[in-house]
Amino acid sequence: MSKDNQDNVGMSYLDSNATKLFKTYFPLVAFLFVLLFPFYWMGITAFKPDNELLSRDGNPFWIINPTLAHVEKLLFKTAYPQWMWNTVLVSVTATFFSLFASVLAAYAIERLRFKGAKNTGLAIFLAYLVPPSILFIPLASVVFQLGLFDTRLALILTYPTFLIPFCTWLLMGYFRTIPFELEECAMIDGANRWEILIKIILPLSVPGLISAGIFAFTLSWNEFIYALTFISSSEFKTVPVGVVTELVEGDVYHWGALMAGALFGSLPVAFIYSFFVEYYVSGMTGSVKE
């Protein structure tokens, strides 16, 4: 029991060990089992040979002869590496562009307080509430009119529509916590607004930038409906869309390759997330708090 945890646990230390085991750890382990089982199943299927996959005998929870055949098929017989590259390219570019635009917007709304800043802030929040599934049809026609249909640029330009509102909202909250006095001091020393933003505000908001960046990256990595609608050639697809539309051929499902595709498509976000859990959680809860 670490000491810092005891601050907000109420009176639960009065529970006896047996009660605690039954009332806390038992349900918690059940939750954990249900929440993590699909990942275990993904992993085990990805390395299981076909004859074990399609047999109802034996113990399905384990592999007798692990195989790399599914992974090999995925890497060398499908466009999977290309989809992976597309996803990385689109996610990283969209994230950095959104961060850039959001930093400027959030600073303008929160600190420059130009005429109409308050309403602009509200509009940004409302933009965050517009779900992609009511936007994709007209957006498809906009993308088509601009000649961007079936290009990665279409995704790089449309992903910021949900990234910018989120990042701006998050960064506005972050900028609000930085004392005005710091800016006033810099202004007295002759710094202009741009210098203040670069040299004072940004270094102080690195945690906020990381939160927004991680969150934006996972959102673009996971995006599905725009990528499904705006991209038709295999070479420009992202991992989620590629796996869903191209790995399923006819009635014969290659479960091993499908699960390997799902596993490797999930690992990068899970990996990045594992390093920045705290930032991610603060980004998520920050988006809900006002």
Partner 1 sequence: MTPLLERVQNSRNVLGLIFMMPAALLLLLFLTYPLGLGVWLGFTDTKIGRAGQWIGFENYIFLMGDSVTQLALFNTMFYTTVASVLKFFLGLWLALLLNKNLRFKSFFRAVILLPYIVPTALSAIAFWWIFDSQFSIISWALVKMGWIDTYIDFLGSPWNARFATLSANVWRGVPFVAITLLAGLQTISPSYYEASAIDGATPWQQFWHVTLPLLTPIIAVTMTFSVLFTFTDFQLIYVLTRGGPLNATHLMATLSFQRAISGGALGEGAAIAIAMVPFLLAAILFSYFGLQRRTWQQGGSDK
Q: Does 243 engage in binding with partner 1 (CB under 8 A)?
A: yes
Shortest distance, position 238 Cβ to partner 1, whole Å: 9
Q: Which C-beta is closer to partner 1: that of 31 or that of 147?
A: 31
- Site residues for partner 1, 72-111, by CB under 8 A, read 100-102, 104-105, 107-109
| HEC assignment per residue over the chain | CCHHHHHHCCCHHHCCHHHHHHHHHHHHHHHHHHHHHHHHHHHHHHCCCHHHHCCCCCCCCCCCCCCCHHHHHHHHHCCHHHHHHHHHHHHHHHHHHHHHHHHHHHHHHHHHCCCCHHHHHHHHHHHHCCCHHHHHHHHHHHHHHCCCCCCHHHHHHHCHHHHHHHHHHHHHHHHHCCCHHHHHHHHHCCCCHHHHHHHHHHHHCHHHHHHHHHHHHHHHHHCCHHHHHHCCCHHHCCHHHHHHHHCCECCECCHHHHHHHHHHHHHHHHHHHHHCHHHHHHHHHHHHCC
Binding flags for partner 1, 152-171, as an x/- string (CB under 8 A): -----xx-xx--xx--x---
- 27-35, 65-73, 76-84, 178-186 -> range binding partner 1 (CB under 8 A): 27-35
Q: Which stretch binds partner 1 (CB under 8 A): 25-33, 74-82, 177-185, 203-211?
A: 25-33
49 binds partner 1 (CB under 8 A): no
One residue of 67, 82, 120, 234 binding partner 1 per CB under 8 A: 120
Q: Which of 137, 188 has the CB closer to partner 1? A: 137
Applying the rule CB under 8 A, the residues between 177 and 206 that interact with partner 1 are 192-194
